[in-house]
Structure 1
Amino acid sequence: MAFRYRVKTKRPALKDKEVKYYAVPIRNEKVQIYKLAEELTKRCSLTKGDILSTLVGLVDLMEEHLHNGDSVCLDNLGIFTLSATSDGFDSPEECTPSKVRAQKICFRADNKLKKNLQFVKFEKDKHDIE
């Protein structure tokens, strides 16, 4: 199966009159943890329940470690970290723990995963209007 895309124009800059066309990904479906467990069952000797409880446990552990300030590295997948921020203050004493907030969870893909991007096959959407 290939990664499908459609072609869209992007609004040109005010001074630029030339129209440009770009590939825009088409997302198929959002694969939930239950589907992953079902697919993994077909690839190994574990039951769907075993895999599902392992994946749920992994998510729980990742959350716990991220909340403690750890980075979570899943070999061949990547590293998850939690970023934090605060407003700017006039003195260091004003930047108290109650004024710091979690901003987002960051993901940095493993080099092996990134290298495999060269093997992705692309297919233009058949319904795309040229």
Structure 2
Amino acid sequence: MSITFKKILRKSPFDKDSAGKYYPHLITWGKPATLDTIAVQMKDKTSLSLGDIKSVLTTFVEVMLHELYHGHSVNIENFGVFSLSATTIGTELKKDCLPENIRTVRINFRASSSVRPNLAATRAEGKMDFVDLEQQLKSLSADAGGEDDNEGGETPDPTPGGDDGDETPDPAA
């Protein structure tokens, strides 16, 4: 499946009078993958049961949070590093720098180089195909309006990248 992007006009915050530039903005379609959907995919690739996989993933999250909340980073080899960071308020005096100055805490993730997206990838598993949302919508509406012109009798592929996925993305989602 292709990765869809839309074109976003952004102006420089430093030059309010500039015309701005268009930037590609990646779009996420549909519902996010969940622990259940990932576990089902993992089950199909291993000899483990669905219950075993869910149990391992759930326990992994619990143990990872335990380690993070005890001040450790969590390094998963060939995946990445999880760590905590905080948004804080600074103080003039060292004695006034207290835990109450911590406003929010986030979990950060830094992907290892082995899973980081690579635009120059040549292997099929790592190759990314990008599709312009406007072109994708034009193609879908042309396919819907031009079905009578289809001489071959087959339904045209609704996705511009030639993907044979089961679902056509809903642009309203």
Shorter-normalised TM range: 0.7 to 0.9
RMSD value over aligned CA atoms? 2.2
Q: Is the 8 A contact 1:73 1:80 kept in 2?
A: yes
Give 1:33 deviation, angstroms.
Answer: 0.7
Q: Is the 8 A contact 2:90 2:101 kept in 1?
A: no
1:61 is aligned with what amino acid? V
Residues 90 and 113 (structure 1 numbering): CA distance in 2 closer, same or farther, change over 3 Å?
Answer: same
Q: Which has the higher contact order (CA 8 A, sep 6+)?
A: 1
What TM-score comes out, normalization by structure 2 length?
0.64
Structure having the larger proportion of residues in strand: 1
Q: Is the 8 A contact 1:4 1:26 kept in 2?
A: yes
Unaligned runs of 5+ in 2: 121-126, 139-173
What CA deviation, in whole Å up to 9, does each residue of 1:100-121 have, x standing for no partner? Answer: 4552111111011125453322
Residues 33 and 91 (structure 1 numbering): CA distance in 2 closer, same or farther, change over 3 Å?
Answer: same
Question: Equivalent pairs: percent with the same residue?
Answer: 29
Partner of residue 127 from structure 1, selected from 127, 137, 144? 137
Partner of residue 89 from structure 2, selected from 87, 90, 106? 87
Distance 1:14 1:123 in 2: 30
Unaligned runs of 5+ in 1: none
Distance 1:2 1:97 in 2: 46
Q: Is the 8 A contact 1:82 1:102 kept in 2?
A: no
**Matched position secondary structure for 1:127:** helix
Moved more, 40-49 or 77-86: 77-86
1:37 is aligned with what amino acid? A
What TM-score comes out, normalization by structure 1 length?
0.82
User: Where does residue 105 of structure 1 map in the other structure?
Assistant: 107
User: Where does residue 26 of structure 1 map in the other structure?
Assistant: 27
Select the structure of larger CA radius of gyration.
2
Matched residues, number: 127
Distance 1:16 1:85 in 2: 32
